[in-house]
Amino acid sequence: MSEISTENANLFVFPPSKSPHLLNPLVLAYIGDAVYEVYIRQYVISGANHRPNHLHKASTGYVSAKAQSKILEALMPMLTEEEVDMVKRGRNAKSGTTAKNAEVLEYRHSTAFECLIGYLYYKQSFDRLKEILDFALAYKRQS
């Protein structure tokens, strides 16, 4: 199977109403969650086992608050000052919701991770976004 060309991929053509750095960090986390989820689902589907239960379990290992919190911790030394600032905004955002299966700190860190993903996505820093997403995959595979 040939690789899918993203050169002319115009599927996601709705830019945010404001500059990414002006968006609420929870808005960035909202889109970041979706971007990360799709990335992980594509990765899991690229494997051989396509049973729905397997796909769900495999994906959860990457997208849970606990997993994202650990990924962010490992990622922090590699982030730019601008990215660290975005992580802090995401971590400190008051979401009004609580985590179902995570500690409060894990939940805040996973929100921070998703905020960073959303920020890079809306900034259209796709090379950097791919670096971070690839790091997340590699980190989780080795842990």
- What confidence tens digit (pLDDT) does each residue in 16-75 have? 889 999 999 999 999 999 999 999 999 999 998 789 888 999 999 999 999 999 999 999
Domain around 96: 22-142
Residue 124: Cβ within 10 Å count: 11
Query: Nearest CA to 39 among 16, 12, 21, 8?
Result: 12
Catalytic residue numbers, as ranges:
33
* Cα(33)–Cα(18) distance, integer angstroms: 19
Write down the pLDDT at residue 113.
98
Question: Are 115 and 89 spatial neighbours (Cβ–Cβ below 8 Å)?
Answer: yes
pTM score:
0.88
H or E stretch including 57?
A: helix 52-63
CATH number for position 63: 1.10.1520.10
Total number of domains constituting the chain: 1
